[in-house]
Chains A and B, each alone.
Chain A
Amino acid sequence: MADLPDDSETRLEIDRLQAEYLGRLRAVLRRAPPEIRGDALSEVQSHIEDEWRALGGGLSALRTVLQRLGPPEEYGRDLALQLILLHGGRRRLAARLALAVVFWASTSLIGGVVVAGATLIFAFALGMLATAIARALGVPMMLVDATNYQVFSYHGQGLHFPPEAWSPAVIALVGLLPAVIIYTGLYRFLRLWIRSRLAQRGLAFATTGRSPVAPPGWERRALLAILTFASLGLGGCLLFSILSELVPIGYPGTVRLPDDFFRTPITALAFVSGLVFLVSPVLGLLWAATRTTSKAMLKSKTIHHE
């Protein structure tokens, strides 16, 4: 900063404080494209310097400026998301959504877990679908190992039904983009829709940044609910998938659809669990919304009684 006070210790402290603040903001903006990130950092830095000068300079002035700006974490995440969307303005909607979901997934643990898991589930489903289409197109297949569900085509090409554990990862490369787009669209739509429904029911909403923010504690409850549904769904899906592998198929021989698709109730449970995992944000948000609404209505009734 220019026009620094004479005291060298104060000068050092001012530099340290500003560098620390901008470093924290840089860390929050790390997922934004580098050229735009630099631009945003320069803008905030110029804000700090302008306000610092206006307040007469000095250490206490800088502290006031940083306090007025607020913690970088408070507005940085929203800013990063807006910058990503802004940067992708000329790209197709799909690419912008993909960028946004990658950002969401990479900046929160729950986002990472849920998006990665959802991708695998989608990939698994795609694998099943591909197998089904291949059969529907007349690719001859024969179940040669009823216990392990090894399916081979007559041409000697090995297939496993359902796909082996490693195969969803390969198929995920194909299914990644549609998966994240569907998933993000669903999540964003439900999130906004539920907020709108809550607002209609007369709940007060605080606001920061662009989107209305639910009452205190609502976000935390929703995240916990999402995580619970996601864990139960993923755990159930894995458990029932393994169990279904252990159950022998009822009629060895040529595989027919749709009889073999949900070949046992356990496999069906695996699919249902996968679905629970897939829509865990929806279930979690609905659960949190219902809870919040119930509490608010209860409170309202109590007040009326009084």
Chain B
Amino acid sequence: MSDDGDLWIAQLRKGMLELCMLALLAHEERYGYQIAQGLTESGALAVSEGTIYPLLSRLQREGLVEARWRESPAGPPRKYYHLTPAGRQAFKSQASTWENITRAVDAILEEARNGRSAG
């Protein structure tokens, strides 16, 4: 793929990253490594795992997530993140926007595919 194509994919993934993070925290609190794992498995995290920490700090600064340290039965103490009410609201709003966008893009792509096969 060309450099421009790589940049486009990176940009797209970056756009999704915050939404994916909020989604991962929507139903349960998680710590950094769990979040990184969830993002890597879904393919949303194209950059290094360390980059989640500035993003988590920003979400914390913006009042969308809160964090607390908890002892772990196995392993080191972990810092768990959970959504605040404002974070839940932001998640709902972003998820709704995302669904609208994907619907619109799907429709256009479908039309393009049909047009190509008809031609």
Chains A and B bind each other: yes
Q: Which residues of A contact B (CB under 8 A)?
A: 39-40, 42-47, 49-51, 53-54, 68-72, 74-76, 78-79, 81-83, 85-86, 89, 204-210, 212, 215-216
Indicate if B114 sits at the interface (CB-CB under 8 A).
no
Contact A46–B54 (Cβ < 8 Å): no
Task: Fill in one digit per residue for B1-31: 1 if any A CB lies within 8 Å of its CB, else 0.
Answer: 0011011101101110000000000000001
Contact B11–A75 (Cβ < 8 Å): no
Contact A68–B76 (Cβ < 8 Å): no
Contact A204–B50 (Cβ < 8 Å): no
Contact A209–B55 (Cβ < 8 Å): yes
Shortest distance in angstroms between B18's beta carbon and chain A's nearest beta carbon?
Answer: 9
A83, B53: Cα distance in complex, Å: 10
Contact check: which of A44, A46, A76, A82 meets B61 at CB < 8 Å?
A: A82
Contact B79–A74 (Cβ < 8 Å): no
Contact check: which of A43, A205, A210, A216 meets B32 at CB < 8 Å?
A: A43
A39, B77: Cα distance in complex, Å: 11
Residues of B within 8 A of A81 (CB): 54
Contact A205–B51 (Cβ < 8 Å): no
Shortest distance in angstroms between B66's beta carbon and chain A's nearest beta carbon?
Answer: 12
Residues of A within 8 A of B7 (CB): 204-206, 215
Indicate if B110 sits at the interface (CB-CB under 8 A).
no
Indicate if B94 sits at the interface (CB-CB under 8 A).
no
Contact check: which of B49, B54, B76, B77 meets A69 at CB < 8 Å?
A: B49
Shortest distance in angstroms between B84's beta carbon and chain A's nearest beta carbon?
Answer: 14
Most A C-beta atoms less than 10 A away, residue of B47, B60, B77: B47
Contact check: which of B15, B54, B79 meets A78 at CB < 8 Å?
A: B54
Indicate if B36 sits at the interface (CB-CB under 8 A).
yes
Residues of B within 8 A of A207 (CB): 10-11, 13-15
Indicate if B88 sits at the interface (CB-CB under 8 A).
no
Contact A83–B57 (Cβ < 8 Å): yes
Contact check: which of B8, B48, B54 meets A204 at CB < 8 Å?
A: B8
In the complex, how many residue pairs between chain A and chain B have their CB atoms under 8 Å apart? 106
Shortest distance in angstroms between B77's beta carbon and chain A's nearest beta carbon?
Answer: 7
Residues of B within 8 A of A86 (CB): 57, 60-61
A54, B75: Cα distance in complex, Å: 11
User: Which B residue sits closest to A68, measured CB to CB?
Assistant: B49
Residues of B within 8 A of A45 (CB): 76
Residues of B within 8 A of A76 (CB): 50
A215, B10: Cα distance in complex, Å: 11
User: Which A residue sits closest to B79, measured CB to CB?
Assistant: A43
Contact B49–A208 (Cβ < 8 Å): no
Indicate if B98 sits at the interface (CB-CB under 8 A).
no
Indicate if B58 sits at the interface (CB-CB under 8 A).
yes
Residues of A within 8 A of B6 (CB): 206
Contact B11–A40 (Cβ < 8 Å): no
A75, B11: Cα distance in complex, Å: 17
Contact B53–A40 (Cβ < 8 Å): yes
Residues of A within 8 A of B15 (CB): 207
Indicate if B92 sits at the interface (CB-CB under 8 A).
no
Contact A206–B61 (Cβ < 8 Å): no
Residues of B within 8 A of A47 (CB): 31-33, 36, 49
Residues of A within 8 A of B50 (CB): 44, 69-72, 74-76
Known: A75-B48, A210-B54. 4 other contacts (CB 8 A): A44-B50, A46-B79, A74-B48, A89-B61
